[in-house]
Amino acid sequence: MDYRTEHDSMGEMQVPAWALWGAQTERSRRNFPIGVGLETMPTEIIRAFAQIKKAAALTNRALLPEKMTQAQCDAICEAADAILDGALAEHFPLVVWQTGSGTQTNMNVNEVIANRGNAQAGKRLLHPNDDVNRSQSSNDTFPTALHVAAAMAVEQRLLPAMDELIDALRRLEAENEDVLKIGRTHLQDATPLRFSQEISGWRASLEQDRRMLTASLPPLKELALGGTAVGTGLNAPAGFDAMVAEKLSALTGMAFSSAPNKFHALTSLDELVFAHGAMKALAADLMKIANDVRLLASGPRCGLGEITIPDNEPGSSIMPGKVNPTQCEQVTMVAVQVMGNDAAIGFAASQGYFELNTFLPVCAYNFLQSARLLAESMAAFTERCVSGIRADRARMGQNVERSLMLATALSPHIGYENAARVAQLASAQGISLREACAALGFLSPEQFDKAVRPEQMV
């Protein structure tokens, strides 16, 4: 492989000749051979950095025209656009497991933009620190990139996937408005309800999760940019923080603002914890919904069998004809991963020391993985399972008629304890509630039929 010589404040480094990164990126690449090729810095963070560098260049051009020439600004913007187009993806090799401030990823972006700009200009037009990183620090750019990427992931990926699943449940709810089924509490028979009512519980849970996720967006859209090294804004011109947030908003189409307290913004991750907490709540509800679906579909002959779900693939290498609820299983595995990610983010957020939290890359990795997994999991679950759920009306009807918990309707007529005696006798002798009630002399069969009307119990 051919190499070229690059240098930074620590001296010279040999860098692959084809690479646009420089000495600081190369040092990180060599010093942190951890998860190489598997756990590189998320693409969403690199894209957020590209937007930040473009917004910063435009702001510096407006506020510091003597320091940021039009040619320099144009070169930074062109290189940032190339990153956003995906043309330079191979030039971002660094892993998550690096410095906790993300400094090396910030410098990776600075070096790639500078070298790209210089190559396009045919001369040394940009310096990675003096020009691309002007008015910035890794300590404010990485938290900003984290907030930008997180807000985009929630707003542009997660919420649309949730909406598709909610819509599918709403359609399923409408289709089953007239279907009675037995309820279950403690995994035991309970009083009846409509299948549509059960589905409405699933839908309402997701709608509540959506409201909580939406509530987490405004804090995520407050940015640390402009705080520079420790929150004082050293080396940034007056008004940089507000203007760069405006520029970033215009570039992304999202309403970002400058964090009112930069000392908080650099050291605290509470906004991220709050937002991921809403994702954990979503994961918990998805776990519950997926488990309900696979239990209701259990069988086909020896389980509950109250619904059918699509047959997507063979379920066994030894048992011919077996089909498993695989979409439910992927949802529950994703839910477990998200809950684990939440623990990691919570621990990391508690580790801010003085003016900086140095667990930023791991938070970025876990948050963005959760958002991506949940969005993709819900999309697959919606298309390949929920949209194909069908109620077995006959099976549900039989279960309602056989349930001993219909005895609840007898309580107003014969009292709780006598109704319990009816249920106990029916269970012990394997007879119907109607027969048990008559045998005990509480109600005639005709009186029983008037008292116990499952359709009126919902």
How many other C-beta atoms are found inside a 10 Å radius of the C-beta of residue 70? Answer: 9
Q: DSSP label at 40?
A: B
pLDDT given at position 45: 98
pLDDT at 317: 95
Q: Which domains does the chain have, with CATH numbers?
A: 3-134 (1.10.275.10), 152-220+261-392 (1.20.200.10), 403-456 (1.10.40.30)
Average pLDDT, the chain: 97
Catalytic residues: 186, 316
φ/ψ of residue 396, rounded to 5: -65, -40
Q: Mean pLDDT of successive 10-residue segments in the chain (458 residues)?
A: 94 97 97 96 98 98 98 98 98 98 98 98 98 98 98 98 98 98 97 98 98 98 98 98 98 98 98 98 98 97 97 95 97 98 98 96 98 98 98 97 96 97 97 96 96 95
Q: What is the CB neighbour count within 10 angstroms for residue 93?
A: 17
3-state secondary structure of 140: helix
pTM comes to: 0.96
pLDDT of the residue at 1: 86
The span from the CA of 95 to the CA of 140, in Å, is: 20
CA–CA dist 424, 68 (Å, integer): 85
Q: For 35, left (φ over 0), alpha (ψ -120 to 50), or beta?
A: left
User: What is the C-alpha to C-alpha distance for residues 365 and 39, in angstroms, rounded to an integer?
Assistant: 8
pLDDT recorded at residue 227: 98
- Phi/psi for 384 (5° steps) reads -105, 0
Distance CA 240, CA 65 (A): 13
Coil, helix or strand for 391?
strand
Closest listed residue to residue 92, CA positions, set 204, 82, 296 = 82
